[in-house]
Amino acid sequence: MILSTSSGDFPIPPSVARRLPNVPALPDMSAPNARLQLADFRDWLDASPEHAIDYERLRRWHLVQEELAARARSENRDFVVTDDGLD
């Protein structure tokens, strides 16, 4: 698995990947079937309160990783994906 950030793409260690919530891919709004993808994603979100929680956990994790990657880049050091932001 790869984490894509504005600072680059980074491999997600297996120990972190195992902790990530299982969330479907976000709709690709440039795809010909974008409306269908969006409807499917909304249906998934609405299907269970746990889905919304999982989506928010993953979104927050990505924001934290984005910030950590940017900081590492600005300090000219390597970045390693962590589980910071999941809890």
Task: Give the closest residue to 65 by CA, choosing from 41, 82, 43.
Answer: 82
CA distance 84 to 6: 18
Q: What is the pLDDT of residue 87?
A: 85
* Tally of CB atoms within 10 A around 76: 6
Domain residue ranges of the chain, discontinuous segments joined by +: 2-74
Whole-model pTM: value is 0.88
Q: What is the pLDDT along the chain (87 residues), one digit of tens a residue?
A: 999 999 999 999 999 999 999 999 999 999 999 999 999 999 999 999 999 999 999 999 999 999 999 999 999 999 999 999 998
DSSP 86: -
What would the DSSP string read from start to end of 1-48? -EEEETTEEEEPPHHHHTTS---PPPP-TTSTTHHHHHHHHHHHHHH-
